């Protein structure tokens, strides 16, 4: 018993931790208004230390919120609001626990009184903000369902929630269009799982320990999570969404009238794109060191996107000054990717020409060539004057043998003698070809002296015999 009493005394007189000292200073009774610098120092300490610090910081404020001093309760609620907006999911997981919500609403009456005090009003307003922002837009909304349950319970008991400011809701979480890289998304998920694991190990109930065992396997990579996210797809979706907004903004500013004020829709798009421009330029500076093809492709897209947003910002300044901005026309490809500059009409070469549409082919009107015989190849050749033969030149048609045969004009020979017929045949051969086949004719003369009627008839003056003789000469040459 004495040992237990000594332990209680030690705990009572134990010096406070650094976090508890800062919380006591931030919500001390001597303060009339919150110290924002001190509150941000507490947020930085929680983000730097992690571990049990989110739990300790949140639960250290509950005694002040439920205390009897309204001024200290308001200071504690302000510090709690700063922790929720600056410390991310580790604090969100703590305020979404059953233990914290039950302790937060412990001093609330069963039903809402006719006159609600300022502390209850502020707590109801913060719960409404958490429900609208965290439970609907957070990536880890499944861990925050206790907030919806508490809201439904209070509604059933007749509690009326105040209207909330949209600006306060927007700063609870980061803007939805915040550009995050794949590495940042993966790190954010890892931090959320580690915060959840820390809380499960702190509670150390059998159910929590079983869940912590499963979560440790996922963190170490021993098992795959059933809700594994595709970071490449999320990064691509973020880039495409920002490209679409910048393209719409560019076109609306390009068609705007300098004499009129900027439309509310244009101003909203301009604010969103401008807020992303600083982040985009920081990512460009970080990606310039990358050497991979994927990093270079993302870098090119971000550079074009930064140029488009920068041009839109400058155009908005020109419109406010009453001048028409000079903006290049943008076009998007079929996949809805990055906008590209349209081609100037005065350029000599159009780079945006549609390559899919090819001109209609010109039909071939050349006559179809018919197969030629060897006689057609040799016809019309002149060996007296050597001239190059053009492949495209057409040869003259071959005349009939009967037209080329000239009558025998030697009066000393009888017209019906065999020697006259041989002279006429030799003349016919020389007219058909420019070669001098004297040796061949001498052989034919000696053969004609033999009594061979068929050989004699072949040297006749008929057209058929001359034609067959010409073919035999062609065969002999080849």
At 333-353, the pLDDT tens digits run: 433 444 444 444 444 444 444
Nearest alpha-carbon partner for 311 in 262, 246, 218, 390: 246
pLDDT band at 7 (very low <50, low <70, confident <90, very high): low
- pLDDT at position 4 is 64
For the four alpha carbons of 441, 442, 444 and 445, in that order, the dihedral sign comes to positive
| Confidence label for 267 from pLDDT (cuts 50, 70 and 90) | confident
Instruction: Name residue, tokens 């000696």.
Output: 446
Q: What confidence score (pLDDT) does residue 116 get?
A: 78
The pLDDT tens digits of the residues spanning 66-88 come to 999 999 999 999 999 999 999 98
Q: How confident is the model at residue 58 (pLDDT cuts 50, 70, 90)?
A: very high
Phi and psi angles of residue 218, each rounded to the nearest 5 degrees, phi first: -70, -40
For the ranges 36-40, 235-239, 391-395, the one whose mean pLDDT is highest: 36-40
Cβ atoms of 331 and 339 within 8 Å: the answer is yes
Of 284 and 53, the structure prediction assigns the larger pLDDT to 53
Torsion of CA 88, 94, 97, 102, to 10 degrees: -120
Cα 56–Cα 57–Cα 62 angle in degrees, nearest 5: 90
Residues 311, 327: Cα–Cα separation, whole Å = 8
Residues counted in the chain: 478
Determine which helix (DSSP H) or strand (DSSP E) holds 157, and give its type and residue range. Answer: none
Q: Helices (DSSP H) in 61-164: which residue ranges?
A: 62-65, 70-86, 89-95, 98-104, 118-137, 145-156
Task: Name the pTM for this structure.
Answer: 0.61
Q: C-alpha distances in angstroms, 32 versus 8, 57, 118, 416?
A: 34, 21, 15, 153
Q: Which H or E element spans position 340?
A: strand 340-341
Sign of CA dihedral 163, 167, 169, 172: negative
412/18: higher pLDDT: 18
Lowest-pLDDT choice from 29-33, 58-62, 433-437, 458-462:
458-462
In angstroms, rounded to a whole number, what is the distance separating the alpha carbons of residues 94 and 348?
A: 66
- Rg over CA atoms, the chain: 51
């Amino acid at each position: 018993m004495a040992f237990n009493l000594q332990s209680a005394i030690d705990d009572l007189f134990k010096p406070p931790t650094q976090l508890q000292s800062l919380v006591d200073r931030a919500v001390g009774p001597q303060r009339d208004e919150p110290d924002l610098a001190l509150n941000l120092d507490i947020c930085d300490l929680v983000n730097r230390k992690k571990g049990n610090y989110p739990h300790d910081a949140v639960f250290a404020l509950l005694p002040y919120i439920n205390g009897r001093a309204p001024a200290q309760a308001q200071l504690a609620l302000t510090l709690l609001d700063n922790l929720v907006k600056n410390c991310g999911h580790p604090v969100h997981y703590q305020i979404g626990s059953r233990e914290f919500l039950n302790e937060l609403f412990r001093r609330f009456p069963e039903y809402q009184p006719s006159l609600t005090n300022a502390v209850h009003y502020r707590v109801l307003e913060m719960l409404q903000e958490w429900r609208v922002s965290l439970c609907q837009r957070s990536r880890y909304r499944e861990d925050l369902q206790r907030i919806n349950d508490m809201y439904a319970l209070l509604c059933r008991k007749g509690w009326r929630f105040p209207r909330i400011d949209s600006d306060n809701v927007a700063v609870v979480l980061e803007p939805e269009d915040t550009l995050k890289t794949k590495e940042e998304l993966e790190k954010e998920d890892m931090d959320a799982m580690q915060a959840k694991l820390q809380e499960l190990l702190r509670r150390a109930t059998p159910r929590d320990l079983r869940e912590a065992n499963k979560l440790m396997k996922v963190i170490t990579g021993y098992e795959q999570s059933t809700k594994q996210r595709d970071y490449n797809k999320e990064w691509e979706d973020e880039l495409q969404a920002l490209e679409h907004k910048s393209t719409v903004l560019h076109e609306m500013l390009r068609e705007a009238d300098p004499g009129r004020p900027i439309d509310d829709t244009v101003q909203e798009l301009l604010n969103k794109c401008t807020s992303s421009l600083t982040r985009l330029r920081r990512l460009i500076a970080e990606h310039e060191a990358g050497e991979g093809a994927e990093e270079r492709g993302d870098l090119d897209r971000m550079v074009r996107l930064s140029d488009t947003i920068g041009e839109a910002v400058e155009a908005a300044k020109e419109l406010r000054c009453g001048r028409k901005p000079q903006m290049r026309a943008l076009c998007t490809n079929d996949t809805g990717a990055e906008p590209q500059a349209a081609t100037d009409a005065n350029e000599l070469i159009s780079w945006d020409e549609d390559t899919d549409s090819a001109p209609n082919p010109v039909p071939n009107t050349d006559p179809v060539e018919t197969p030629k015989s060897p006689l057609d190849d040799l016809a019309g050749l002149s060996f007296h004057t050597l001239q190059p033969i053009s492949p495209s030149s057409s040869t003259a048609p071959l005349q009939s043998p009967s037209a080329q045969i000239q009558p025998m004009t030697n009066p000393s020979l009888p017209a019906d003698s065999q020697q006259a017929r041989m002279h006429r045949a030799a003349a016919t051969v020389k007219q058909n070809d420019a070669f001098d086949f004297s040796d061949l004719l001498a052989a034919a003369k000696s053969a004609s002296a033999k009594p061979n009627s068929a050989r004699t008839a072949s040297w006749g003056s008929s057209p058929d015999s001359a034609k067959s003789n010409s073919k035999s000469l062609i065969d002999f040459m080849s």
